[in-house]
Amino acid sequence: MLNSANNNSSPYLDRAGAATADGASKAKRSKLLKIVLGVAAIVAIAVAIALALIFTVGKKKSSNSAAGNGSATTGPNGGLGESGTSGKAGSLVTMADGSTFTYNNDFGGDWVADPSKPFGNGGKAQEWSPRIGAEEWKWGEHHIRGVNLGGWLVTEPFICPGLYEKYVTNDRGITVLDEWTLSQAMGDKLAEEMENHYKTFITEKDFADIAAAGLNWVRIPIGFWAIETMNDEPFLVGTSWTYFLKAMHGVMGIANAQRTLTYLRIFTEFVSQPQYKDVVQIVGIVNEILWATIGQEAVQSFYYAAYEAIREASGTGAGNGPFIAIHEGFQGPAIWEGFLAGSDRVVLDQHPYLAFMGDPNSTQWAIATNQSQSVFGVTVGGEFSTAINNCGLWLNGMQSDAIAGCSVWDDWASWDSSVIDGLKQVTLASMDALQNFFFWTWRIGNSTTLGTSSSPMWHYQLGLERGWIPKDPREAIGHCAQVLGSSQIFDGSFPATATGGAGAGTLDPTASASHPFPPATISPSFSGTQIGLLPTYTPTGTLKTLAGPTFTAAPSVAVGSGWNNPDDNEPAYVSVYFLP
């Protein structure tokens, strides 16, 4: 198999020079939730959802207002249920905006959209994936084959460059670098621009296409501003929640970790309710925590506090709320063995990127992943890509300099079969090594300057069309077997507590003392004296709850109060400097 971009054992890389490059409305909300049909989700400060396609990729369990329910008419192979409330390949789906598309799925998937039963069972992403709400997901037997919806509810310049290019020059004198500064530059156009982005960047058809690509989960980053903003934070408040109740990606940093705990509780209380727990199956605690900046003590202190807060909201044991994903801090899985021993359903999330690793070889990921799954528990690749270098418009930031040698990698339309086939080997090796994975990301929007999309090796949808992404991700199975010894194979058996079995939630009684929160040190970034100068928060605020959907065709259906555990009533953290 192919190794990294820096490994000259890959002939096609030598030839091509890769190794030398340096370095809504209720209607919309309802439809998107339904369309997450058949796909499971992770709330991770990035939420992962199991595709159940209540419309077919999403899940009916999370469907919203009936005003946005998709309708269907029989196609040549429609196989519809009663009154056009479900369909298979060949059926016609009407989206929230009135446009239609033909549902195509060669893997036996189906969708459901029954406005009279908004919390009924969902569809199936593929014949081999469990039907959400009706069939159990069996860890060790079923595999996450997923994709991130990056750039949708939390924007990134390299993923949606057209949105950013519009405001690079602005009359407010703002240097646009990220969503914070983009929001400032938009000024009174903020609500209009962001809502238009939310409703067009990802639509119902994307979820159907994701299932048709053989994928069964989606991971959706969502910012804290889905709940609220404080002080001078410029983000559009609340609107992203109406498009998807998934996960926090943009938390505020360790100085505001107490505030993050409040938001984790609010998200978890909502998704742990019976109506939604089958859809949102994993909640991640902070995306790519800055271990190198704040240190091991601070990271593990926060993770322990977050675990306690989430399990207070959800309860313990299989079926009680989501799994909890913790990012490994780019330290590798081995260092986490023994952390939170006995904890209930904790997932280790790794983000190995060939493009940014010094000596990458994706086959080696398989060895580390198998070891982690045998000892720690469920281990996923929450992010990875096909990229073998860091080429791409704004991939390294909006103010980054152009990288020499990237022109061939930007010109994806000219790639010949040897390049495409070589990149496909990278994709297959990565998928097989990680076993349970989420590619970053589903789509890259077009640049208005380039007239096309950049960063092709990060663009699943484009790779699927052009050939460096497999039409069926199961093609990756066994790709890494050639490098694994017989003692390094994972047999599918996780520790019992890892999946909510016997003993789940029984932590070592010394764990609390070992991981005090707030942490005593945040090194190497802050000295003890400096820590005392950081903003602090106090649990004296009013807790907010997230609103459930409404259903025109089923107005009396119980959508939940937004709060799963009525005994979880500790006040919200608020700044001691900005008390109400």
- Judge contact between 267 and 482, C-beta under 8 A: no
pLDDT at residue 485, as a whole number: 66
Report the range of poorest mean pLDDT among 77-86, 141-150, 473-482, 522-531: 77-86
Confidence of residue 576 (pLDDT cuts 50, 70, 90): confident
pLDDT at residue 88 tops 90: yes
pTM above 0.85, yes or no: yes
pLDDT tens track for 392-448: 999 999 998 878 789 999 999 999 999 999 999 999 999 999 999 999 999 999 999
Handedness of CA 248, 252, 253, 259 (dihedral sign): negative
Q: State the average pLDDT for the chain.
A: 83
Instruction: State CA 62 to chain mean position distance.
Output: 16
Return phi, psi of residue 195, to 5°.
-65, -40
- Judge contact between 187 and 181, C-beta under 8 A: no
pLDDT at residue 57 tops 50: no
pLDDT at residue 193, as a whole number: 99
pLDDT at residue 18, as a whole number: 33
- The residue-averaged pLDDT of 247-262 equals 57
Confidence of residue 98 (pLDDT cuts 50, 70, 90): confident
CB within 8 Å of 73: residues ≥ 6 apart: 84, 91, 92
Distance CA 266, CA 260 (A): 10
> What b/e string do you get for 49-88 counting C-beta neighbours within 10 Å, with b at 16 or more?
bbbbbbbbbbbbbbbbbbbbbbebeebeebebbeebbbbb
Quick one: 289 exposed, middle or buried, by C-beta within 10 A (0-12, 13-18, 19+)? buried
Strand 145-148 relative to strand 217-222: parallel, antiparallel, unpaired? Answer: parallel
* Nearest partner of 389 among 368, 374, 403, judged by Cα: 403
- The residue-averaged pLDDT of 179-204 equals 96
Q: Which two tokens stand for residue 263?
A: 């938001």
pLDDT tens track for 473-531: 999 999 888 766 666 789 999 999 999 999 999 999 888 889 998 888 888 888 877 87
Helix (H, G, I), strand (E, B) or coil at 206: helix
pLDDT tens track for 353-392: 999 886 667 777 998 999 999 999 999 999 999 999 999 9
* Nearest partner of 120 among 43, 55, 211, judged by Cα: 55
* Nearest partner of 45 among 145, 123, 148, judged by Cα: 148
Confidence of residue 242 (pLDDT cuts 50, 70, 90): confident
Residues 532, 298, 579, CA angle at the centre, nearest 5°?
45
Report the range of poorest mean pLDDT among 39-53, 151-165, 367-381, 427-441: 39-53
pLDDT at residue 150, as a whole number: 95
pLDDT tens track for 261-311: 999 999 999 999 999 888 889 999 888 888 998 899 999 999 999 999 999
* Nearest partner of 535 among 166, 170, 257, 163, judged by Cα: 257
DSSP state of 346: E
* Nearest partner of 179 among 233, 256, 246, 139, judged by Cα: 233
DSSP state of 396: T
Distance CA 252, CA 232 (A): 13
pLDDT at residue 536, as a whole number: 79
Higher pLDDT, 314 or 14: 314
- The residue-averaged pLDDT of 150-175 equals 97
pLDDT at residue 78, as a whole number: 40
- The residue-averaged pLDDT of 38-51 equals 56
pLDDT at residue 52, as a whole number: 56
Instruction: State CA 514 to chain mean position distance.
Output: 30
Residues 420, 424, 425, CA angle at the centre, nearest 5°?
120
Higher pLDDT, 256 or 140: 140
* Nearest partner of 325 among 315, 336, 335, 317, judged by Cα: 336
- Judge contact between 272 and 282, C-beta under 8 A: no
pLDDT at residue 49, as a whole number: 72
Handedness of CA 482, 488, 493, 499 (dihedral sign): negative
- The residue-averaged pLDDT of 330-336 equals 95
> How far from 47 is each of 149, 321, 324, 402, 461, CA to CA, in Å?
10, 13, 10, 33, 20
Amino acid at 399: Q
* Nearest partner of 146 among 500, 433, 495, 384, judged by Cα: 384
